Amino acid sequence: MRPTLVPFLLAALACGRPSAAPVAEPASGPSRYLYVWLGDKDEKQSDFLAVLDVAPSRSYGEVLTTVPVGMSGTLPHHMEYELPGSGRLLFANGHHHERLFLFDTRDAARPRLVRTLPPAEPYRYPHDIVRLPNGNVLVGHLRGPGTSPAAGDSTEPGGHGGIAELDPEGGVVRVAGAADSSVAAPIRPYSFAVLPAIDRLLVTSAPMMEDTTADVVQIRRLSDLALLKTLQMPPARLPNGEAEPFGHMLPFEPRVMPDGSVLLNTYGCGFYRVTGIDGAEPRIENVFTLDAPPKRMGSCGIPVVAGRWWIMAVGEMRMLLVLDVSDPARPREVHRLESDSAFRPHWLARDPGSDRLVVGAEESGVERMLLARIDTTTGRLRWDESLRGADGRLGVSFVRETWPHGATGEAFGHAALFRR
């Protein structure tokens, strides 16, 4: 195990979001509901999907419905990062049990579990979920069969991961392995940027609970997932030219920019631009680096892009960061919004019909979620102070004894999506 990965691996709650063409229904005002994917804290009862009321009303922030999945201790982790279009099933994953859960959300206030899926063989630990324009989904799998190619890595199984394309009902369309003979460390497909106009897919590589991982991104053909190029992450440099020691590590979340380039952040808080993706020699360049606390990863998690603004959850620094990416070759910091010391922001999802963002946590703060608001003219953020728990703390609390499905006690959450 690389010692520099220890803080991340102990957190065990890393995440991501795609850049596929949106397929959700058009927005026409603030969403009424928030779906939160929750785990039972003591792992004695079922994990569940909760529906919260987030429309301005007397019941603002209240839990309206819960959907138990019949399994405990799954570690509810990722959902899709935009709600799928009308009639399509919503995919979510339970990491510890290596399962995908598919929910029918046609009745917005009363979703139901339709089916549960195992990993796509021969790969293990499905993680990130990206919806394609044709309705299919891509699922990154962090491990493959066999031992890790990295010396001293005790992860078992620990081979290179893979990618599965599933149809809208969860049937396997195709799988592709991540192995590249030129890379000695295991490649763990994490998150995706989809570029259908040029038949390309960019894939990042980062771990969840694995000992080692390759710090690379891969360029693939979207139509058949064939590997075209593996790019090593170059150093992340601070404005004074010095290399940030963790800045290049764990390439995490890519987003397609209006000019066709891809901007991505690492968990170590380096920001990179990938160009020439449709050519034989794509290029990756460090374009911004956050000056994180000494000897620690900054823990840059899930971004949301709202027009010219890149909104970044930065867990170690307990804040949301806003960058102006109108020129993706020169991102520029414009604002920081701090959370309290007990909340490590990690997950972000935007309400497509309003200025609201839901903020989930990792490691510290998973017993609640916060709402933030963005001024799309200036890029400035503020917390939604109207949403507070019974204890007076900001946000919606999961510290409660009773839920609609029964008296099952406290829960924790990581991912959430707005639903009209």
Q: Is the pLDDT of residue 19 over 80?
A: no
Question: Under a CB-based contact definition with an 8 Å cutoff, are residues 271 and 288 in contact?
Answer: yes
CA proximity to 417, closest of 52, 19, 1: 52
Share of the chain above pLDDT 90, in %: 89
Q: Is the pLDDT of residue 37 over 50?
A: yes
Question: Under a CB-based contact definition with an 8 Å cutoff, are residues 401 and 393 in contact?
Answer: no
Encode pLDDT of 69-78 as tens digits.
999 999 999 9
- The DSSP element (H or E) to which 11 belongs, if any, is helix 6-11
Encode pLDDT of 279-314 as tens digits.
999 999 999 999 999 889 999 999 999 999 999 999
Sign of CA dihedral 233, 239, 243, 245: negative
Distance of alpha carbon 396 from alpha carbon 31, whole angstroms: 16
Q: Is the pLDDT of residue 58 over 90?
A: no
Determine the straight-line distance between the first and last CA of the chain, rounded to whole angstroms.
44
Query: For position 2, what pLDDT does the model report?
Result: 35
Residue 9 DSSP class? H
Whole-prediction pTM: 0.92
Question: Under a CB-based contact definition with an 8 Å cutoff, are residues 103 and 85 in contact?
Answer: no
Give the chain's length.
420
Distance of alpha carbon 190 from alpha carbon 127, whole angstroms: 7
Domains and CATH numbers, the chain: 3-415 (2.130.10.10)
Sign of CA dihedral 304, 31, 106, 358: positive
| Residue 157: Cβ within 10 Å count | 15
Encode pLDDT of 123-177 as tens digits.
999 999 999 999 999 999 999 999 999 999 999 999 999 999 999 999 999 999 9
Average pLDDT over the chain, rounded to an integer: 93
Instruction: Classify residue 353 as left (phi > 0), alpha (psi -120 to 50) or beta.
Output: alpha
Encode pLDDT of 326-383 as tens digits.
999 999 999 999 999 999 999 999 999 999 999 999 999 999 999 999 999 999 999 9
Residue with tokens 């000019």: 259
Structure-block tokens of residue 419: 């639903």
Encode pLDDT of 180-196 as tens digits.
999 999 999 999 999 99
Strand pairing class (356-361; 345-350): antiparallel
Query: For position 321, what pLDDT does the model report?
Result: 98
Confidence category of residue 27, pLDDT binned at 50, 70, 90? low
Confidence category of residue 23, pLDDT binned at 50, 70, 90? very low
Cβ neighbours for 38, distance < 8 A, ≥ 6 positions apart? 47, 48, 49, 50, 66, 76, 398, 411, 412, 413
Cβ neighbours for 100, distance < 8 A, ≥ 6 positions apart? 91, 92, 93, 94, 116, 117, 126, 129, 139, 170
